[in-house]
Structures are given as structure tokens and as C-alpha cells.
Structure 1
């Protein structure tokens, strides 16, 4: 059983909003999940990214895999945290 960190889509038609969730790979996209580790709103460029990076790193250390999209979002969040410091 592979645990993955991926996006679950919410929001209205043509107005997507995503939760970054930890789920087993065989669970449906918007179905059951183990943990919510953040949110992502692609329409809000400034405040649309809210991730708990510490929790994400804990899950990765336990063996969770990041999807390509989540990997790109996490990298973006980490660079913005470094720029603030």
C-alpha cells in the first residue's frame, strides 16, 4: 500500500480549490484521506498557498510519496519561506 500526498479538488465549477491530503493510492481523488496538510487556491497568487511543511516532511520520512504537482507546490512554498527569512 503506497501512501501519497496529493490534491483533492473542492470548489465550484470553474472555481477550483484544492486540499493537499495524505491518502492511500487506491482511495478516490476526493474520497477518504488520512490527513490534511494544507490548501492550495490557484486563483489567488498571493495568499492561495497554505502548507504545513513540517507535517509534509514527517509524512515523507514515513514513506509517503509526493505527486508531481504537489512536489512543485511544496518547492514553491519552501522557496517563499526562505525568501522571507
Structure 2
């Protein structure tokens, strides 16, 4: 029985997520797997690659052949170099730890409450700008008169 280490596609349309599996080479891509040994999520930033190193080393030692894509992933994690006896690659880029939103909110609330209790200086009143005298523009001689102006000028009452 020829055994392969390959990717089993999971996820949604346009959002691929893969499991790294040990499977018989004659099974379908998403068919029955012998063992699940890791995950790969290429759409994350940085890509998530988790591999059970001890299980991969075991399967490589008993003759399982990785697919090209899985071999590239194993090279990034250092498992392929470990199997071949080569020097280890540089460490992978690790995503920064996410800040706990609830803790951050509580810290902000405490800081705001501390500021609210502290005495504040009274704000100076801004000087009010004096209103400019309004001047009405004289109606233009060329401008047509509105109905009210036309009615008032002719002396007709409605």
C-alpha cells in the first residue's frame, strides 16, 4: 500500500482551509484518511501551519511520500530538514498576540473614571463675536418682481 502525505480541502468557496492527512495514494483527494497530522490555512495573515511533528516524522520514516505542496509546508516548519538531516530553516513569522478586548475596555473605563474624579480647570469662555450689521441689498432693476412685490406695487388687493 503506497501511503501519501497530502492536503485534504475543507472550508468554503474562495476560503480554502486544508488538513494535512496521511492517506492511501489510491483514495480521492477528499476521501478517507488514515490519520490527520496538521492544518494549513493559507488565507490567514500570516498563514497558519500546524503540524504534529512526531507523527509526520514517523510516517516519513516508514516510507510515506509527501505531495509537492505538503513538502513545501514541511520545509517551512523544518520537519523535512529534520527528516533529511539538513540544517533547520529560519523561524516562521508568528502572528502577534491578540489583545483581550474586555480587559482593554475595562482598563480604558478605569482610566476614564480616574480622569472624571480629578478636578478639572474651568474652561475660559470664548469671546462672542459681535454680529455684523445686516444690510439689505437693494433689489436689482433688471430682476423680475415676485408675485407679492408685483401685487403690492400695483395697488390691487386680492
Match of 1:13 in 2: 13
Would you say how many aligned residue pairs link Structure 1 and Structure 2? 82
TM-score (norm 1): 0.89
Question: Secondary structure of the equivalent of 1:40?
Answer: strand
Unaligned runs of 5+ in 1: none
Q: Which has the higher contact order (CA 8 A, sep 6+)?
A: 1
Give 1:76 deviation, angstroms: 0.4
Higher strand share: 1
Match of 1:24 in 2: 24
The list of structure 1 runs, each at least 4 consecutive aligned residues, that deviate by more than 4 angstroms after superposition, is none
**TM, length-normalised to structure 2:** 0.49
**Stretches of structure 2 lacking an aligned partner (at least 5 in a row):** 79-88, 93-158
Query: How far off its partner does 1:45 sit?
Result: 3.4
Please say which of residues 44-53 and 27-36 is displaced more in the overlay. 44-53
Deviation at 1:46, TM superposition (A): 2.9
Instruction: For 1:33 and 1:75, locate their aligned partners in 2 and report how far apart those are by CA, in whole Å.
Output: 22
Secondary structure of the 2:9 match is strand
